[in-house]
């Protein structure tokens, strides 16, 4: 495996026989033949017929089929028809549920980025992501999905969200310098990986791995090689089926011996003993189990959880402990503003996620003030994220998205506010300054808005806004603000500071 993260940009370009001007279209076509398309290969799909026949692999169902055949043999046609109707109904019901799940999963797979911006023949063009090949130069921008594993060659405040791959819940800042060879994926900060998202900034990168050779492709390959095991419920039904089968054979044998000793004919003894054995089998059990599991699947689907195999519902219900070492692995990776400190008041914010439903409360009563409104406007304008409330989707950094959501709870609309306050300049956030700043113009007035680490922001300020008035920021007020910052941080909250200036502003 090539350790591209531990190589210089020049070495990577040479290894992949490319340049900063990209490869030619002709060379790209040739490389598609060599490397294949940039897409994840799926294991061979089951046909509808195979999926339907799979419903009859249960041992208990096989016993029922055998019972129906025997019933026909002993001329109990009504019993045979009833048993087969139950078996077929059970198979159809299970097939419908699993087929619907497969279709839903296929629909989810289509929700991926379809195009990538690359440099080919020295020109910037857009191509389908499946046509990317190692050696392509890809341009990355905020909100875009990384189309392949790439070595970064240029970054401008670039951050990516890698929770889907590493479980890391916070955006990862990217660099172009060398990383030591034995660094794990989470520490390879000069690389970007397929299926992760750019949350901030922009960059340029060399495609080094595509399709099944990417890190996400490796995971997909391991999943496909995983052998399917029986769930606890399937194992129990398998045991029950075997016990019923053995019990039926024993009953059949005992009754037949007893009847032969009472001088019944061999055929009569066989018919009676087989009839009793068939009667001992609970024909309705598979159907009851299938219906119960199907109800569980429907309840899970209402909570946006897709269950591919019916018996998996029972397995999930039997789970006692789930172990996870990363918050981003099992959470929604959503940020929500919960508390706001402004004007010497600590205000609670209700609601969660990316729904613009909630309110601001102080001592359990609704609260709104000019101080609060000013802070919400700063958070909304000194911001590069966007939120689609109808789809509950964001583009950009989750923290910035949460600021837009909190402002919308006060009835502030980002598009309308941005129309009024035209952005003129921006200083992007970086790890040294620890703040982001933007300059806006409304009419003949200019405004500077800043957000970042509270301890850095407060050192830039001479005044604090209290009751919509600028009050001198003395050492006592400064200590009070920093103490509140420490208190909120101790409650495991991520804390941001906000500031503004009106009038003669410049970067």
146 contact partners, CB below 8 Å, separation of at least 6: 140, 160, 192, 193, 194, 195, 196, 197, 198
Residue with tokens 């918050």: 327
Cα atoms in the Cβ-side hemisphere of radius 13 Å centred on 369: 19
Rounded CA-CA distance 52/369 in Å is 63
Instruction: Return the closest-CA partner of residue 129 out of 5, 200, 32.
Output: 32
DSSP state of 40: P
DSSP result, 79-94: HHHHHHHHHHHHHHHH
CB distance 387 to 378 below 8 Å: no
Least Cα distance to 204 among 162, 128, 152, 148 occurs for 152
Residue 252 to residues 70, 273, 281, Cα–Cα distance (Å): 12, 5, 12
Instruction: Examine the residue annotation and report whether 325 is marked as an active-site residue of this protein.
Output: yes
Whether residue 452 contacts residue 467, with contact meaning beta carbons closer than 8 Å, is answered with no
Q: Which two tokens stand for residue 328?
A: 């981003």
Residue 179, Cβ neighbours under 10 Å: how many? 17
Residue 355's contacts (CB-CB under 8 Å, 6 or more residues apart) are 389, 392, 405
Helices 285-301 and 232-261, axial angle in degrees (round to 10): 170
Q: Where do the H-state alpha helices sit in 143-182?
A: 163-166
Give dist(CA 34, CA 14) in Å, integer.
18
Distance of CA 65 to the CA centre of its chain: 42
What gap in Å lies between CA 208 and CA 215, rounded to an integer? 11
Q: Which of 11, 136, 182, 325 is catalytic?
A: 325
Classified as helix, coil or strand, 45 is coil
Secondary structure E strands in 306-374: 339-342, 345-349, 360-362, 365-366
Q: % helix / strand / coil in the chain, to the nearest 5?
A: 45, 20, 35
- With the C-alpha atoms ordered 313, 317, 320, 321, is the resulting torsion angle positive or negative? positive
Token pair for 161: 């969200």
Q: Please give the backbone phi and psi of residue 388, each rounded to the nearest 5 degrees, phi first.
A: -100, 100
- Residues designated as active site: 325
């Amino acid at each position: 495996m090539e350790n591209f993260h531990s190589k210089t940009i020049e070495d990577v370009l040479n290894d992949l026989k490319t340049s900063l001007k990209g490869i030619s279209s002709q060379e790209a076509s040739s490389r598609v033949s060599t490397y294949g398309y940039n897409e994840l290969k799926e294991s061979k799909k089951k046909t509808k017929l195979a999926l339907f026949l799979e419903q009859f692999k249960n041992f208990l169902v096989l016993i029922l089929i055998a019972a129906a055949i025997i019933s026909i043999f002993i001329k109990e046609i009504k019993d045979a028809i009833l048993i087969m109707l139950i078996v077929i109904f059970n198979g159809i019901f299970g097939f419908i549920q699993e087929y619907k799940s497969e279709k839903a999963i296929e629909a989810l797979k289509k929700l991926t980025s379809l195009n990538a911006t690359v440099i080919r023949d020295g020109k910037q063009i857009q191509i389908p992501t499946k046509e990317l090949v190692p050696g392509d130069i890809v341009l990355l921008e905020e909100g875009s999905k990384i189309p392949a594993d790439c070595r970064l060659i240029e970054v401008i405040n670039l951050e990516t969200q890698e929770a889907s791959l590493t479980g890391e819940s916070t955006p990862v800042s990217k660099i172009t310098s060398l990383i030591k060879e034995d660094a794990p994926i989470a520490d390879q900060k000069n690389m970007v990986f397929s299926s992760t998202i750019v949350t901030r900034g922009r960059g340029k990168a060399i495609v080094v791995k595509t399709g099944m050779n990417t890190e996400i492709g490796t995971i997909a390959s391991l999943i496909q090689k995983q052998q399917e095991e029986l769930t606890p419920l399937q194992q129990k039904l398998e045991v029950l089926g075997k016990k019923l089968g053995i019990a039926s054979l024993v009953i059949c044998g005992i009754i037949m011996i007893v009847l032969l000793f009472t001088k019944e004919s061999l055929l009569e003894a066989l018919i009676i003993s087989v009839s009793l054995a068939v009667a001992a089998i609970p024909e309705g059990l598979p159907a009851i189990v299938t219906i119960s599991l199907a109800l569980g699947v429907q309840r899970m689907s209402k909570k946006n959880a897709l269950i591919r195999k019916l018996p998996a519902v029972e397995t999930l219900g039997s789970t006692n402990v789930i172990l996870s070492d990363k918050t981003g692995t099992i959470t929604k990776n959503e940020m929500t503003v919960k508390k706001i400190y402004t004007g010497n008041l600590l205000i609670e914010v209700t609601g969660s996620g990316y729904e613009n439903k909630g309110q601001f409360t102080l001592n359990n009563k609704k609260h709104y003030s000019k101080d609060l409104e000013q802070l919400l406007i700063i958070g909304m304008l000194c911001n590069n994220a966007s939120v689609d409330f109808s789809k509950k989707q964001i583009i950009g950094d989750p923290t910035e998205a949460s600021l837009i959501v909190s402002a919308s709870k006060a009835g502030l609309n980002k598009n309308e506010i941005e129309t009024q306050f035209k952005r003129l300049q921006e200083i992007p956030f970086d790890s040294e300054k620890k703040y982001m700043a933007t300059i806006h113009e409304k009419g003949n007035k200019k405004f500077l808005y800043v957000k970042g680490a509270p301890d850095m922001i407060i050192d830039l300020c001479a005044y604090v806004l209290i009751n919509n008035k600028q009050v001198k920021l003395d050492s006592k007020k400064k200590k009070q603000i920093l103490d509140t910052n420490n208190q909120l941080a101790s409650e495991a909250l991520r804390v941001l500071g906000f500031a503004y200036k009106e009038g003669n502003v410049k970067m």
